[in-house]
Homo-oligomer: A and B are copies of this chain.
Amino acid sequence: MPIPKPFVILQPVSEETALIMKVRSILVQETSQYQEIAIAEFTEYGRGLVLDGLVQSTEADEHIYHECLVHPPMVAHPDPRKVLIVGGGEGATLREVLKHGPVKRAVMVDIDEKVVDLARRHLGTMHMGAMSDPRASVLIMDGLKYIAETEEKFDVVILDLTDPYGPEISKMLYGEEFYRRVSSIMEEGGIMVTQAGSSFYYPETYDMVLSNVRSVFPIVVEYNVWVPSFGYAVNFITGSSNVDPANIAAEDVESRLRARGVTTKFYNGRTHIALMNMPIFRRLSH
């Protein structure tokens, strides 16, 4: 069990922990207006998307992240027809959303055209053509602006954004005011979900995000799942006025998945129960 060499990625997990992963080749390294974009072949994880030095998705484990981001709120909603995804440039969140039969329209808004273009060309195993699905609209624009200006309302809003502990812009995407705006474009009976970084490594940030969601939505549910190539268990938080993902039985999850024609690799009725019951990871102080 040696340290991998010679070519590796050095990925920060926190201020004081990092993950080294062996890389076979680097397909693309480009700088967009917003970030540094790379697509690499990892020896152990297959092809992966890396933004600003942080792995977003790899073929070996993106299903864990994307299925757990999308299906708990989608399944909890009884009839999700219109879905908004903010972020999610590689198209895998869209792919999972479109698996649900009731979906009539899925809008994906990503700020970075370069990410979306590179994903289209190089990450076919991730988007599986979802961006060309007739029900999908892929918009290149600032998610904040879209939410402020749209006159549509959505049953499910999925916030697949960069981590909350990054620069100012992303803090704007995890603030109370932001969730208030998200709430205003949700249909009655709608639900939103956001990824929320790592409660273990960034407990203050996590608690801040949680508190902001709680100040807007009466029903808030937390869950998390380990994503190997992230180096941590990623947290998710849902917010809604009346949809409660923690209050569905495994069998009901299964029957909704079946009825909607959803097939998955990691998520199912039992996974749902596990997600809803697993404690939030917190570092013990010492």
Contacts and interface: CB of A to CB of B under 8 A. Distances in A.
Which residue, A16, A38, A278, has most C-beta atoms of chain B within 10 A? A16
A277 interface: yes
Contact of A284 (B22, B42, B60, B284): B60
Interface stretch (A6-14, A71-79, A148-156): A6-14
B5 A53 contact: yes
A265 interface: yes
Given A265-B284, A284-B61, A26 B7 contact: yes
B21 A24 contact: no
Contact of A17 (B4, B54, B281, B285): B4
Given A270-B279, A277-B273, A277-B274, A5 B10 contact: yes
Contact of A12 (B5, B45, B54, B226): B5
Contacts of A44: 14-17, 201, 283
A40 to B, nearest CB: 7
A237 interface: no
Contacts of A286: 45-47, 59-60, 125
Given A20-B20, A43-B16, A278 B284 contact: no
A7 B20 contact: no
Contact of A5 (B3, B40, B231): B3
A61 B285 CA distance: 9
B4 A18 contact: yes
A40 B9 contact: no
Nearest to A40: B7
Contacts of A12: 1-3, 5
Nearest to A271: B279
A233 interface: yes
Contacts of A18: 3-4, 19-20
Contact of A6 (B13, B38, B275, B279): B38
Nearest to A224: B226
Contacts of A189: none
A274 B279 contact: yes
Interface in A30-49: 38, 40, 42-47
A266 B279 contact: yes
Contacts of A54: 1
